[in-house]
Amino acid sequence: MPVGTHGAVKAMTPEQVRSTGSEVVLGNTYHLALRPGEGLVEKLGGLHSFMRWDGPILTDSGGFQVFSLPNKEISDRGVRFRNEVDGSAIDLTPERSIEIQNALGADIIMAFDECTPHPADESLARTGVRRTLSWLDRCASAHRRADEQALFGIVQGSVYPKLRANCAEAIVALDLPGYAIGGVSVGEGHDLLCRVTEHAAPLLPENKPRYLMGVGLPHDILAAIGFGIDMFDCVIPTRYARSATLFTSRGRIRLTHRRYRRDAYPIDSSCDCYACAGGFSRAYIHHLFAANEILSAILASIHNVRFYQRLVADARAAILSHDFEAFRSDFLEAYGPAPKPGS
């Protein structure tokens, strides 16, 4: 699911996003509440009308963004922090998060949770689970559009299997429309992400969506699909695109490197995106980045988002043909090894 933090996927029009095969896009509760404000979005017809996207939209709770802010105050009631726009004090509680998301009108909304940082000792992670479960109950009670918006709960518990299991058991008991695994992709690296996901995913119902939040790179996604994950979001495809990092079937390339100055090939000859199939060469896109032309980010973003959509579509087809393990092995052999933490 491409991320549209402020109600727009960066450097892409809605039609360009749709052309990549994307069906669901994300909006960010925290940022949209700050600017332009959920009241204005609601008055103008809701987020679908506001951003001109006629497909499903998922809004996160704002928890991840708030917990990454400096000088926040966390209590059982919620989180107090400073408005990054005007400096005023803001209280974000489970009830307030749901109120904002109800007004925005997304199809899938996320419960307000405490996103435990990494590394975290077991005591801190246990507190995070306790608050996450308490806040989920408050989110469910505050939800006023349950017939229109699917509320997903989030499993926390850091790297501690027992905490993850306890959290999952309590959340599944609420019989929600879908479930997410949070608190990963926060600096723990590929191997630890896999260990947490492999443990947590089977704890969630097979007949409801399983969503791994904030993930990730191709190696992460293919591993998580193997564990039973259905949904992913990440800023990586468009963020990397804006810095000229492009994903190909043979691994990542950096188009600002001078080796591409005279390269007449497309970004990826196996890709059917507008940038590749449209005849734009690596040399041309290299030139666009060197000249600081906006079209560089547009073409690179279209390609990267399409790469990810092709990846998951191919994985889905392989699952249906009972050939996923062979597909994953072949893809990773061509793509190359997983990057080391921090790279």
Task: Dump pLDDT digits (tens) for 108-118.
Answer: 999 999 998 89
Instruction: Report residue 182 CA to chain centroid gap.
Output: 11
Half-sphere exposure of 342 (CA within 13 A, CB side): 0
Q: Are residues 130 and 254 in the same domain?
A: no
Q: How confident is the model at residue 70 (pLDDT cuts 50, 70, 90)?
A: confident
- Does a structural domain hold residue 70? yes
Last residue of a domain, one of 218, 234, 250: 234
Express each pLDDT in 190-206 by its tens digit: 999 999 999 999 999 99
User: Locate tokens 């332009």: which residue?
Assistant: 36
- Does a structural domain hold residue 9? no
Residue of 60, 220, 230, 268 marked active site = 60
Residue 320 has pLDDT above 90, yes or no: yes
- Does a structural domain hold residue 7? no
What pLDDT score does 218 carry?
98
- Does a structural domain hold residue 98? yes
| % of the chain residues with pLDDT over 70 | 99
Last residue of a domain, one of 182, 215, 234: 234
Q: Are residues 140 and 246 in the same domain?
A: no
Q: Tell me the two tokens of residue 73.
A: 């105050």
Residue 49 has pLDDT above 90, yes or no: yes
Express each pLDDT in 225-273 by its tens digit: 999 999 999 999 999 999 999 999 999 999 999 999 999 999 999 999 9
Q: How confident is the model at residue 342 (pLDDT cuts 50, 70, 90)?
A: low
Query: In Å, what is the CA distance from 40 to each residue of 13, 45, 64, 83, 89?
Result: 21, 9, 24, 18, 21
What pLDDT score does 85 carry?
81
147 included as an active-site residue: no
What pLDDT score does 341 carry?
60
Q: Are residues 60 and 178 in the same domain?
A: yes
Q: Are residues 24 and 70 in the same domain?
A: yes
Q: Tell me the two tokens of residue 51.
A: 């951003």
- Does a structural domain hold residue 1? no
Q: Are residues 211 and 323 in the same domain?
A: no
- Does a structural domain hold residue 262? yes
233 included as an active-site residue: yes
Mean pLDDT of 29-44: 96
Give the DSSP H or E segment for 332: helix 324-335
**Structural domain for 288, as ranges:** 239-335
| Average of per-residue pLDDT values in the chain | 96
Query: In Å, what is the CA distance from 32 to each residue of 18, 41, 42, 66, 278?
Result: 22, 9, 11, 13, 35
Please, what is the end-to-end C-alpha distance for the chain in angstroms?
23
- Does a structural domain hold residue 89? yes
- Does a structural domain hold residue 8? no
Q: Which residues contact 92 (CB under 8 A, 6 or more apart)?
A: 30, 62, 66, 78, 79, 80, 81, 112
Task: Quote the number of domains for the chain.
Answer: 2
Q: Are residues 215 and 320 in the same domain?
A: no
Question: What is the domain-level CATH number for residue 187?
Answer: 3.20.20.105
Cβ atoms within 10 Å of 284's Cβ, excluding its own: 18
Q: How confident is the model at residue 330 (pLDDT cuts 50, 70, 90)?
A: very high
Q: Are residues 255 and 312 in the same domain?
A: yes
Q: Say how far apart CA 83 and CA 91 lie, in whole Å.
A: 10
Q: Are residues 44 and 172 in the same domain?
A: yes
Last residue of a domain, one of 234, 266, 288: 234
Q: Are residues 173 and 310 in the same domain?
A: no
Residue of 113, 220, 230, 233 marked active site = 233
pTM given for the model: 0.96
Q: Are residues 217 and 267 in the same domain?
A: no
What pLDDT score does 168 carry?
98
Q: Are residues 96 and 179 in the same domain?
A: yes
What pLDDT score does 186 carry?
84
Which segments of 262-323 does DSSP mark as H helices, in order?
A: 274-277, 282-290, 294-320
Q: How confident is the model at residue 212 (pLDDT cuts 50, 70, 90)?
A: very high
Express each pLDDT in 277-316 by its tens digit: 999 999 999 999 999 999 999 999 999 999 999 999 999 9
Q: Are residues 216 and 256 in the same domain?
A: no
